[in-house]
Structure 1
Amino acid sequence: MVRSLKIGQTNLQGNIPNEIYELNELISLDLGGSKFSGSLSDNIRNLNKLRYLNLYRLNLSGPIPDGFYLLTDLHAMFLDGNKFNGSLSNDIENMKNLKYILISGSNLSGPIPDGLYSLSNLEHIMLGGNRFNGSLSDKIRNLNKLTHIDLSNLNLSGPIPDGLCSLTKLEHLYLQGNKFNGILSDDIRNLNMLRLIDLNGSNLSGEIPDGIYSLSQLQKLKLGGSRFIGRLSDNIKNMDSLSELDLSGSNLSGEIPDGLYSLPRLNYLNLKGNNFSGRLSDNIRKLKNKLLELDLSGSSLSGPIPDGLYSLIELQDLKLAGNKFNGSLSDKIRNLNNLHTLDLSNLNLSGEIPDGLYSLIKLQYLYLQGNKFNGRLSDNIKNMNRLLHIDLSGLSLYGSIPDGLYSLTKLRFMYLQGNKFIGSLNDDIKYLDMLQFVDLSGSSLSGEIPDGLYSLIELQELKLGGSRFSGSLSNDIRNLNNLLYLDLSGSSLSGSIPNGLYSLSKLEYLDLMGNKFSGSLSSEIGNMIRLTSLNLSFNQLSGIIPNEIGDLINLRNLEMIENRFEGNIPDLSRLEKLLYMNISSTKHILNASCNDKMLPPYINKNKCFIGPVNKLCNNIINCQYNFIDKSSIGSIVYIYKLKIIIMMIICRDNVNND
């Protein structure tokens, strides 16, 4: 006689064997973590002595069968992580011995049935990550033995019922990711055994009730992404068991209360995206022994960064971005030698970058963009050899890029645009072979593009626009075959466009505007089928525009003005996504058929006039397009989504003037 069967965590697959449903003396059935699939058979009704059922993370689909609800001796059921459909039946009320219900992430929908609220022996209920809807019933007060509730990431709406605040044995409450409205009741003070509350993203409003500050056993409080108003009370000091506090995006205002700094166990503090004002108190140093993560970004805190902040020696993540701090960054930043992330972007900090910053050898993410730092970038940056992301854009750094930067071999993102760097880009950039995003635009770098750059085969975005690079573009650019975005605009590059460029079949954005490229445009451009934006304007390209331009069916923007093209504009009728087109030649008149079908649908021309007699063109007559043509005698205005293109047109025919 089999009373217990455990074949979980195996590679068994296919439908659950019918033989299992014949083991009617089973008390415990554990198939969790296996690879069974198909539906749950209604024959499960035969297992009416079951007390424990684990079908966790199988691949079961279809509805939960009616026979399931006849398992009235069941104490614990684990059905989470399946792919059921349909609703949870009200017949669940028959399962009165249930203590544990875990059905999270199983694709169930519809309202939570009233029958669930009659299961007065329930201690754990976990329904999170399904597609339930409707409101949470006040009948939840009947479940007065509950210690854990997880109703997260459902589609529940309406107010949080008063009955919830009568569940005095609750220890864990997860309601995040719903669409509740109304206020959080002050009666939450009744839940004085709570250790965790997560109401993130639940759309609650009003002030944070005083009752919440009386929950002295609470270890984790997450109220982020709601629409609370008012201030954070100094009574938060009573919550001296708190280790995590998330009030991000909650519209709180006023000063950060001193009581917050007296929480001796606080590890994680997220106040991001509020309207806190005033200065950051030096009393923050009181959190020095425990605080690991601090996010105060996106508020209106002002004044200098207090010295007390630099005493938080256990900090791993520090984010102050988007406040109104001023003054300099202290060399005492070296004390924060456990930092992995430092985000001081878009503040008002000035002065030189202190040497102490370069001693943070554990740092992986450094964001200083949008400040007023000046001076040089120190070669000591080589010490920060764990960096993955660095953003120093929009500062006023000058001098050459230090050799030490090229030793940061783990870098994936490097943003240095908008500085005043001079000199050349070192060929040692080849050692940064994990780079995916590089932006050096708007600097004063000069010289040729080093060969080493063409060896960075992981690059997805390369922006060198607005610099002073010269020489030719190497055919080795073909090596950068993961590029999605390439901006070389506004440099002084010359010579022909190398064939290697046309092999970058993943490229979506190409801007070569404002260089000195010459020669013809290759028909190989038709290989760049993913391009959405192409700008070749203000170069010295000549010859005929290749017909293959018409194969770039994903183009939305095409700009080719101020070159030396000649001959016919090709058939562009397949460019159905094109919103903006600008083509002209400084040396020749370009021809295009007057047939509307030759142009993309969003750039229609309705009429082509031959002045002075206003004779309509037919399909035989050609139109001459030239944006800057003083001899033009007619014009057509095209308007699409506020983009206005004025084309000067002359139509000519072979009419005899006898």
Structure 2
Amino acid sequence: MAVTPRSCASFHGAAAVMCLLLLFSPAPTTAVAASSVSGSCIAAERDVLISFKAGITNDSAGWLRSWRGQDCCLWYGVRCSNRTGHVVKLDLYNKFVTEDHYGPVDNLLGLSGSSSLLALRHLKSLTYLDLSNLNFSGQVPPQLGNLTKLKYLSIHAYSYNNQYPYASDVSWLANLHSLEHLDMSNVNLRAAVDWVQWVNTLPNLRVLHLSGCDLPSSIPSLLHKNLTVLENLDLSSNIFLSPAAPNWYWDVTSLKSLNLAYTYFLGPFPDELGNLTKLHTLDMRYNEIQGMIPSTLNRMCSLQSIHLSEVNIGGDIAHLMERIPKCSLNSLQELILDRTNITGTIIESVSDFTALSILDISYNHLSGSLPVEIGTLQNLTELRIRGNGFTGVISEEHFSGLMNLKYIDLTGTHLQVMVGSDWEPPFDLHKAYLSSCYLGQIPNWLRWQESISDLNISDTGLIGVIPDWFWTTFSNATSLDLSYNQLSGKLPLDLEFMSSTLLLLQSNNLTGSVPRLPRSIILLDISKNSLNGQLPSNFGGPNLQVAVLFSNRITGIIPDSVCQSPQLQILDLSNNLLTRGLPDCDREGLKQQNQSRSNSSRVGFGSAHSYSLKISVLLLNNNCLSGGFPLFLKQCQGLGYLDLSQNRFSGKLPAWISDNMPKLLMLRLRSNYFSGHISIETRRLSYLRILDLANNTFSGVIPKSLANLEALTTTPKSLANLEALTTTEDVDPLFNPFIEHYKSGYFTYDMGMSGDSFSLATKGQVLQYSGNAIFVKSIDLSYNRLVGKIPEEIGSLLGLINLNLSSNFLSGNIPYKICNLQGLESLDLSNNQLSGEIPWCFSNLTSLSCLDLSYNHLSGRIPSGHQLDTLRADDPTSMYIGNLGLCGHPLRKLCPGDQPPVQRDPVMLHEDDKAKIDFHLGLIIGFLGGLWIIFCGLLFKKTWRYAYFSLFDKLYDMISKK
């Protein structure tokens, strides 16, 4: 197939770029001689590169800015031959994208676009082509086979609008006899069923990377083995779902690195693994392989790295260590065995691996103490043993020889770190995770660890005051976690000099004021302390995403600086002593803020809702806040959870709630002074799951528009309408407000539960909800001044779990359509003026565990059966008390036509019982007396015995004859 500039125009993305390079095929010698050379760059080749640049639609990294001037050999990514001047290397590898990156393509640093390109007919010497991680898509053109001089080819792909490049035929590989390095990772090769045979035609191939290619199942063996120098093989992230052996690569004895991670191989480890005696790196993590590693590994004397994370090895760690080849004791550098289900205790022989740099045995079932011999591993840089049952003490001897240690993780092991107060460690840590160990006090040896970026000493039994040196020593640390201890004293008034992005101090006994925060702070949690005073005037910051300060004694107002926190998503100031209202982030102020950050694409004000804030969770309950419904909320277009309960807000609810906060999942305004009609336009609140307006002074009727609350019309098994919202721009509808998380770049980091909760009046009591809050579907309009009938439309809210309309002035009958609410667990209609009969269909509400219809004007027979007969077994009448017209069980009042139970004199009942006892006693005595007479007769009367046994003989003869 001939390749021309015109034919290149039919391709797009990567295909177009590679089509250009197909024109780098050998050209006649006369053409080369006719080329004019300016400097060291051939003009014809420079012109084509300029044409290529013109077709690029996105150069966000500015890589091609240097592509100007006459000498193309000086341009970025271009290398020429010193001898001929021809371009021999084109390297546009996007180093800013990693294999684990899943962010939006539009924001990638790199190149994208397609181009109609001029002919490159003079790059016959091209040996190096790297277009890795550029966001191109389309078919990989088979004309790549024309580049016969290539030694290095990398088209390691990244998705373009969730579309990867693909190739259904790779037979063109057979022409690349000189190829030494081939990387087609993430290129879809699902249809290339014969890919192994074509790869096998490359006798000089040393590196083969086909990670994430959706490869079809491999083949057991090759008839002709041409891959005799292959050293690096990466087939990771291909779902084979088959046994690991037999397979062709077990015969490639030249392999030094083998990556089979995420391939979902089944069964045991293959014995053929022992054939790879030159292997340096073995990566088989995240597979379905089970059982101990094979004994055939004893010949693998060059092993440097063993990575078996989440492989179900099982068995004792001592047995496992015996299977690791003894001849690799001086070469093994990485031993990664986390989540491998191994048991036992760490044996002293671990110190025999003198070259060990990384030891990871996290999340297993290991127990006992940590051997002091581990302190002899002078090359150890990472020690990860979290999530095991280790006990005992770690002393200075354990650390004595670890002068290269940079990373230590003892989380969840309950070890006691006991060293002298004047001990100076031999190492300089970068990351230290000691959560759940016992430290007693902030260790003095930490003051020497000035290079630490991440420090977690939460739940370590810390007492006393945080020393002053702590803040200066860790001024450059990005993550500090001292939560769940008993630390006391005041925090410094100013922490702006620090570089922290995460600062976690919750659940301590800290006092004093909230300090001025680092400008870099992303996540702040100082909840459950005894902090007092006012929030600093500059509270917030350009990067702050999560601020959790509940359950303190903070006074004063919420400062206006909150409006200058464009990234703020979670603000929890509940259970404090805050006064006044929320700041008024007027549009003009936000507009100025937007203009001051016009160069930043991360602020997010360029959305459809201009000048809006990003807050999705706002929890301000249990304070002393007052004023009308906050205008601040007009700018919170993505708000999902709003809790203003237990404050002093007043006035009417504005009509703009549904327009300005359409993403609401929870609206809690209970225990305030709101009044007027419930005029919330529910048409747009299609995601609302919790509506709590209890204990206010709302009047008027219950709006029929409650039927528009779409999320409440679905049963717990039908969440499709909510899950669909995850694709919208600002809020995840199933986002849990009590799980702290923050975003960094394109990744979201989950920090776990914050420990906050909210109360819900349900099932006759006040229950606390936190982690399971997102599964609650509730309407609570109790303790208001609502009148009129209960609308029948409420029967369409099939997902309701809790319905509380108590303590109002509701009248009329209980609508029968309430019986449609089959998921209802709690129904409280008490203290109203309801009349008529209780619907008999209430007995069909099988999920109901709490019912209260007391103190109304209900009449008629109380329904029974099924669930109703089991409710409030200790006092079932309390559900119906105060309804003079009700009758029947469990009340004592009889319904018309019921027969009263027969009432008898207690004395006569006692005499009847005594007579029955005498009769039964006489009957028993008579029976025993008669039986004794017969027994004595047989014992002492010989004639009786003869007659008795003679009778039995006759009966036996009669039966046997029949």
Normalised to the residue count of structure 1, the TM-score between the two structures is: 0.80
**SS where residue 254 of structure 1 aligns?**
coil
In structure 2, C-alpha distance between the alignment counterparts of 1:172 and 1:356, rounded to whole Å: 50
Residue 66 of structure 1 aligns with which residue? 220
By how many angstroms is 1:189 displaced?
4.5
After the TM superposition, which residues 26-425 of structure 1 pair with which residues of structure 2 at under 5 Å, given as runs? 30-37=183-190, 44=197, 47=200, 52-60=207-215, 64-67=218-221, 73=228, 74-89=230-245, 94-136=251-293, 142-160=299-317, 161-163=320-322, 167-191=329-353, 193-213=355-375, 218-231=380-393, 233=395, 244-251=407-414, 252-255=437-440, 256-277=442-463, 279-285=465-471, 287-288=473-474, 290-298=476-484, 300-304=485-489, 307=492, 310=495, 313-322=498-507, 324-329=508-513, 331=515, 333-334=516-517, 336-347=518-529, 349-355=530-536, 358=539, 360-403=541-584, 409-425=613-629
Pick which of 445-454 and 274-283 moved more: 274-283
Contact 1:438 1:461 survives alignment (8 Å):
yes
In structure 2, C-alpha distance between the alignment counterparts of 1:202 and 1:490, rounded to whole Å: 51
Contact 2:240 2:263 survives alignment (8 Å):
yes
Contact 1:230 1:253 survives alignment (8 Å):
no
In structure 2, C-alpha distance between the alignment counterparts of 1:230 and 1:88, rounded to whole Å: 41
CA distances 1:364-419 after superposition (whole Å, capped 9, x unpaired): 21111122333443344444443211111222333444436997822111111122
1:432 matched to 2:636? The reply is yes
Residue 562 of structure 1 aligns with which residue? 831
By how many angstroms is 1:465 displaced?
1.9
By how many angstroms is 1:315 displaced?
1.4
**SS where residue 531 of structure 2 aligns?**
strand
Change in 2 beyond 3 A, CA 1:240/1:304: farther
Change in 2 beyond 3 A, CA 1:231/1:430: farther
In structure 1, C-alpha distance between the alignment counterparts of 2:215 and 2:894, rounded to whole Å: 70
Residue 620 of structure 1 aligns with which residue? none
By how many angstroms is 1:202 displaced?
3.0
In structure 2, C-alpha distance between the alignment counterparts of 1:258 and 1:139, rounded to whole Å: 48
**SS where residue 259 of structure 1 aligns?**
helix
In structure 2, C-alpha distance between the alignment counterparts of 1:633 and 1:558, rounded to whole Å: 20
By how many angstroms is 1:567 displaced?
3.0
Using the aligned pairs only, state the percent identity.
24
Q: Which amino acid aligns with 2:510?
A: N
Which is strand-richer, 1 or 2?
Answer: 1
In structure 2, C-alpha distance between the alignment counterparts of 1:213 and 1:469, rounded to whole Å: 66
Residue 628 of structure 1 aligns with which residue? 882
Root-mean-square deviation over aligned CA pairs: 4.0
Q: Which residues of structure 1 form unaligned runs of 5+?
A: 607-624, 637-646
CA distances 1:405-453 after superposition (whole Å, capped 9, x unpaired): 9978221111111222233332342112221111122223222223343
Change in 2 beyond 3 A, CA 1:159/1:318: farther
**SS where residue 819 of structure 2 aligns?**
helix
Contact 2:861 2:887 survives alignment (8 Å):
no
By how many angstroms is 1:76 displaced?
2.8
By how many angstroms is 1:474 displaced?
0.9
Change in 2 beyond 3 A, CA 1:359/1:581: closer
1:499 counterpart (697, 704, 717): 704
**SS where residue 682 of structure 2 aligns?**
helix
Change in 2 beyond 3 A, CA 1:435/1:515: same
By how many angstroms is 1:121 displaced?
1.5
In structure 2, C-alpha distance between the alignment counterparts of 1:185 and 1:308, rounded to whole Å: 49
Residue 447 of structure 1 aligns with which residue? 651
CA distances 1:597-636 after superposition (whole Å, capped 9, x unpaired): xxxx544579xxxxxxxxxxxxxxxxxx934346767534
After the TM superposition, which residues 601-616 of structure 1 pair with which residues of structure 2 at under 5 Å, given as runs? 601-604=866-869
Q: Which amino acid aligns with 1:587?
A: H
1:488 counterpart (693, 710, 721): 693
Contact 2:801 2:826 survives alignment (8 Å):
yes
CA distances 1:330-388 after superposition (whole Å, capped 9, x unpaired): 64x44x332111111223x2321352662644322111112233344334444444321
Change in 2 beyond 3 A, CA 1:184/1:115: same
CA distances 1:440-494 after superposition (whole Å, capped 9, x unpaired): 2222322222334333111111222222222221141332222122222222222
Change in 2 beyond 3 A, CA 1:384/1:20: closer
Q: Which residues of structure 2 form unaligned runs of 5+?
A: 1-144, 158-162, 415-436, 591-611, 713-776, 872-878, 900-962
Residue 523 of structure 1 aligns with which residue? 792
Change in 2 beyond 3 A, CA 1:102/1:382: same
CA distances 1:8-50 after superposition (whole Å, capped 9, x unpaired): 6495658x55958999989776543122337966975993857
Change in 2 beyond 3 A, CA 1:529/1:632: closer
In structure 1, C-alpha distance between the alignment counterparts of 2:843 and 2:860, rounded to whole Å: 17
**SS where residue 829 of structure 2 aligns?**
strand
In structure 2, C-alpha distance between the alignment counterparts of 1:573 and 1:402, rounded to whole Å: 51
In structure 1, C-alpha distance between the alignment counterparts of 2:309 and 2:193, rounded to whole Å: 25
**SS where residue 832 of structure 2 aligns?**
strand
In structure 1, C-alpha distance between the alignment counterparts of 2:392 and 2:321, rounded to whole Å: 23
Change in 2 beyond 3 A, CA 1:592/1:126: same
Q: Which amino acid aligns with 2:647?
A: S
By how many angstroms is 1:319 displaced?
1.0
By how many angstroms is 1:133 displaced?
2.5
Contact 1:426 1:450 survives alignment (8 Å):
no
By how many angstroms is 1:585 displaced?
5.6
Pick which of 248-257 and 583-592 moved more: 583-592
Change in 2 beyond 3 A, CA 1:461/1:308: closer
**SS where residue 179 of structure 1 aligns?**
coil
**SS where residue 438 of structure 1 aligns?**
strand
Aligned length: 615
Contact 1:353 1:374 survives alignment (8 Å):
yes
Pick which of 520-529 and 571-580 moved more: 571-580
Pick which of 104-113 and 625-634 moved more: 625-634
CA distances 1:94-117 after superposition (whole Å, capped 9, x unpaired): 443222221212222333234324
By how many angstroms is 1:250 displaced?
2.9
Normalised to the residue count of structure 2, the TM-score between the two structures is: 0.57
In structure 2, C-alpha distance between the alignment counterparts of 1:39 and 1:531, rounded to whole Å: 52
Contact 1:244 1:269 survives alignment (8 Å):
no
Change in 2 beyond 3 A, CA 1:289/1:380: closer
